[in-house]
Amino acid sequence: MLSFIEIERGVGKSLTGCLLVSLAGLKENVLEHTLGVAGVGAEPVLCVDNDEAGREFIEKIRAKHPNTRLHLPNKNFKNWNDQPQVARG
């Protein structure tokens, strides 16, 4: 999550009005609990790894929450930890 935050800040994006939660892996129960606490109208935005496990998780969550949005690493990178190393040059 820290890599994602640094990338967003680096391109001038504000992360206000949101709740960032590390799932400590692809743990559906953590996401469901967080959405329950956040209340009605909470819209998940998944920032998972760009790999098979991440895509499977996305499909599972979208089946329950069709309005789920995605924010994935650039297609050239598996995860957010790899991306900033190249972006910083």
Q: Where along the chain do its domains lie?
A: 2-87
Of 2 and 57, the one with more pLDDT: 57
Give the angle 62-67-71 at the CA atoms, nearest 5°: 80
pLDDT greater at residue 22 or residue 87? 22
Strands 69-70 and 45-46, by their bridges, are: parallel
Contact 54, 28 (CB under 8 A): no
Tell me how far apart the alpha carbons of residues 84 and 5 are, in angstroms, rounded to a whole number.
10
Q: How much is the average pLDDT of 31-58? A: 88
pLDDT band for 84, please (50, 70, 90 cuts). low
Of all residues in the chain, what percent carry a pLDDT higher than 70?
A: 93
What is the Rg, in whole angstroms, of the alpha carbon atoms belonging to the chain?
13
| Token pair belonging to 73 | 């690493």
| pLDDT of 2 higher than 80 | yes
The model carries a pTM of: 0.75
